[in-house]
């Protein structure tokens, strides 16, 4: 067992992990942050996307011990300080960017990573960026709309 410590959603977190403990297991099973989902466990689906030192990564394909000392952000860290939904989360609700909701944590984390680097992405750029996030409900249209709205580019649709 190895002792690890990291910052998760702005708060210190630590624990004892095996070498093989995945970051997503540490988040879900040790820290009980179950918003990060495991869809495929093969790094295809993106339901487990979190930010490590500001970059989107698949938490099912990174060892917890490799995140020792890192600054980690999960879907639980995306709400506003008062508990209300953050801009991207609110846009997903407003534009029906989810149905079953299983992929949504990863979608929101990927969207946040995209908008950090590219605050006004085109539709094509959004679709390309979401290549590693799979949704089996929405057909993606409303997810794209939600991200366009979160980037302030969809005022006409928002007024519908």
**How would you classify residue 151: left for phi > 0, otherwise alpha for psi between -120 and 50, otherwise beta?**
alpha
- Nearest distance from C-beta of residue 110 to another protein, angstroms: 7
- Nearest distance from C-beta of residue 137 to another protein, angstroms: 19
Do 16 and 2 contact (CB within 8 A), yes or no?
A: yes
Using CB under 8 A, pick the residue from 74, 89, 110, 153 that binds another protein: 110
Instruction: Give yes or no for residue 34 binding another protein (CB under 8 A).
Output: no
Residue 133 and residue 1: Cα distance in Å, rounded?
32
- Structure token pair of residue 100: 């079953």
- φ, ψ dihedrals at 51, nearest 5°: -105, 130
Instruction: Give yes or no for residue 114 binding another protein (CB under 8 A).
Output: yes
- Nearest distance from C-beta of residue 42 to another protein, angstroms: 6
- Structure token pair of residue 124: 């094509």
DSSP H or E stretch at residue 71: strand 71-73
Binding part of the chain for another protein, among 76-84, 96-104, 124-132, 150-158 by CB under 8 A, reads 124-132
Binding part of the chain for another protein, among 58-66, 77-85, 92-100, 141-149 by CB under 8 A, reads 58-66
Looking at the Cβ atoms of 82 and 131, the one nearer to another protein is 131
Do the strands 71-73 and 2-8 form a parallel or antiparallel pair, or are they unpaired?
parallel
List contacts with another protein (CB under 8 A).
2, 18-20, 22, 41-43, 46, 49, 52, 55-58, 61-63, 65-66, 68, 110, 113-114, 129, 131-133
């Amino acid at each position: 067992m190895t002792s690890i410590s990291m910052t998760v959603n702005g708060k210190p977190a630590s624990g004892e992990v095996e070498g093989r403990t995945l970051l997503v297991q540490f988040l879900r099973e040790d820290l009980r942050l179950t918003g990060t989902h495991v869809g495929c466990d093969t790094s295809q689906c993106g339901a487990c996307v979190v930010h490590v030192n500001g970059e989107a990564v698949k938490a099912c394909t990174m060892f917890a011990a490799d995140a020792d000392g890192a600054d980690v952000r999960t879907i639980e860290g995306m709400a506003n300080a008062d508990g209300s939904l953050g801009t991207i989360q609110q846009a997903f609700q407003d534009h029906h960017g989810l149905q079953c909701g299983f992929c949504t944590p990863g979608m929101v984390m990927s969207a946040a990573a995209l908008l950090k680097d590219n605050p006004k992405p085109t539709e094509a750029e959004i679709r390309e960026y979401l290549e590693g996030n799979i949704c089996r409900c929405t057909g993606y249209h409303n997810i794209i709309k939600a991200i366009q709205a979160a980037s302030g580019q969809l005022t006409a649709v928002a007024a519908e």
